Structure 1
């Protein structure tokens, strides 16, 4: 556990460092068909989720566990990855467990993470890569002042099929 890892608290949420104690919750999310429908990473066993736990601890990633204010209920995870201090940019990401979808959590968390990136990490650009079919996420990105930039057509293979990715970005 990193004692310097920033904690972010609001009336409804507590964002804290992801620790090994979260592995089961991470697996619960990243094995859920509803969560991974538009998410690149997925796991079919608790042991395989260890790979993701190691990824969270890498220096180029800064991801938070998204929890209830009392830290008793895990909602999902969000953060910045591929943090590039030289280019002053990073990619933003977020996933939530389905039982809390539609409660405004994403709209509350994404600005908190972006603000941290801009003001604490001194980033100039935060990018979001969204599967073109993920209409809900695309709407949220637009509402949160991320500007649509382009579509990367058939740029990735998922479940044996090509998918397109829409690129959104926010700059300071």
Structure 2
């Protein structure tokens, strides 16, 4: 199996947790497929883009540059499926070949967890809470800066969660 060293999307290096590159053979032809497990932030960034400029550096030093289509694979870990049509597969003879009738695609999710991914890049999301509090507590909360409230709630939740 061909090993990937680095991947750049639109000229930007991205952190890839696991990957597989292979040739997919169907009745309509051949496609070069790249499955990568990335962070949730990377999926969010690229999920609405149809085509990306991809640079793949292989472990043997070869470089593949291509415009690839993006497909988000739902369920499981955050991952992207990038693919492009191939006219000539001779230069890809050492790549794994997967047929549309095969049941076994490369399993890149095995051996990695969402917790490990989030240790590298943790998504931060906004949340709105509706609370009923005494007016003096509401006034105090409104007088606080957003950054201070974020730190306070993070500390409170972390402490509470550990119990």
TM-score greater than 0.5 by the shorter chain: no
Q: Give TM-score scaled by structure 2 length.
A: 0.26
Query: Larger C-alpha radius of gyration, 1 or 2?
Result: 2
Question: TM-score with structure 1 length normalisation?
Answer: 0.25
| Highest RCO, 1 vs 2 (Cα 8 Å, sep ≥ 6) | 2
